[in-house]
């Protein structure tokens, strides 16, 4: 491994994002927010930091931005609450941490990392995750911090129907999840994912984002993955782990493995969305089977891409 090799990729959700639905001003806001988060993670890599620190920092930036359905911009449940999920995984030792249905936490990805580093567990949910946050002295933020009028109107538009909404408005269908994957100079991979879930979700619904192997996976022997899409389908086919398995046991390249999962396995089941992936050589793949995916990357040559559409 060339010690100078690093690469990073991030996403802010995939889905049906018609070009006409984004004004030039709003598109510029999304692209700038992606660039800021990407560079925040890349600065850590370029200064000799770990891939774990890089993905955590990048996801925190996205959680702090109300444009994305994670952290501050999370959608509302049927009861008008905000319940957040997140996960993180270290490819060097397969350590992982996750939280689900937590409330009042500014940066859920940080809490997921503390689960990984400070407990013997992988996943904490609901009130247990909140109590753990208190023990770790993570401050609780008031409801007002998370309240965005756009998200509230989304809930109001379908609250009476009993349907859920995957972060879309009118004909726009955007799967609101954020994530990051990275390779550091030591050859270590890491992945992190964070989400506010579905608008109008009930019954404590949890999607793929906090489930290791479904929405997030990292293993130095293959790749690091963060997914975004119709979570139930990603859970059913263990999407993130499938990419790893296709590489490690099937001998496929990163691009081949990602294509198989996103364009074949998911499509055959009726699932849509996408993922971002990095392999142990720093190759990046960001496939999606929807109209667009908010995504950005910096490859091993330092080339930056910030994109929404194909």
Tell me, yes or no, if 177 is annotated catalytic: yes
**Which single residue is written with the structure tokens 């950005």?**
296
Q: Is 289 exposed, middle or buried (0-12, 13-18, 19+ CB in 10 A)?
A: middle
Instruction: Say if residue 240 is exposed, middle or buried (CB neighbours under 10 Å; 0-12, 13-18, 19+).
Output: buried
175-202 residues labelled b (16+ CB within 10 A) or e (exposed): bbbbbbbbbbbebbbbbbbbbbbbbbbe
Q: Tell me which of 77, 177, 195, 228 is the catalytic residue.
A: 177
Q: Do 209 and 85 contact (CB within 8 A), yes or no?
A: yes
Cβ–Cβ under 8 Å, residues 86 and 194: yes
What is the C-alpha to C-alpha distance for residues 210 and 213, in angstroms, rounded to an integer?
Answer: 9
| Active-site residue list | 177
């Amino acid at each position: 491994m060339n010690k100078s090799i690093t690469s990073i990729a991030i996403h802010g959700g995939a889905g049906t994002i018609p070009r006409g639905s984004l004004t030039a001003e709003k598109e510029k806001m999304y692209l700038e927010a992606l660039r800021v988060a990407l560079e925040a993670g890349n600065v850590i890599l370029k200064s000799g930091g770990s891939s774990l620190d890089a993905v955590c920092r990048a996801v925190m930036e996205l959680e702090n931005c109300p444009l994305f359905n994670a952290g501050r911009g999370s959608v509302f449940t049927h009861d008008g609450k905000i319940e957040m999920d997140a996960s993180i995984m270290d490819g060097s030792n397969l350590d992982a941490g996750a939280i689900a249905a937590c409330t009042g936490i500014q940066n859920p990805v940080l809490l997921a990392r503390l689960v990984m580093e400070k407990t013997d567990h992988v996943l904490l949910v609901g009130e247990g995750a909140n109590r753990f946050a208190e023990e770790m002295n993570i401050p609780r933020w008031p409801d007002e911090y998370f309240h965005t009028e756009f998200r509230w109107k989304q809930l109001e538009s379908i609250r009476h129907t009993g349907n859920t909404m995957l972060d879309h408005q009118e004909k726009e269908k955007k799967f609101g999840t954020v994530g990051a994957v990275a390779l550091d100079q030591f050859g270590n991979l890491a992945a992190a994912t964070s989400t506010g879930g579905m608008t109008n979700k009930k019954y404590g619904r949890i999607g793929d984002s906090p489930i290791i192997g479904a929405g997030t996976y990292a293993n130095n022997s293959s790749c690091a993955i963060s997914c975004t899409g119709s979570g139930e389908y990603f859970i059913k086919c263990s999407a993130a782990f499938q990419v790893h398995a296709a590489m490690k046991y099937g001998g496929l390249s990163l691009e081949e493995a990602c294509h198989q999962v996103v364009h074949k396995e998911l499509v055959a089941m009726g699932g849509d969305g996408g993922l971002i992936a990095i392999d142990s050589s720093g190759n990046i793949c960001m496939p999606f089977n929807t109209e667009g995916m908010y995504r950005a990357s910096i490859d091993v040559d330092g080339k930056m891409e910030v994109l929404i559409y194909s």
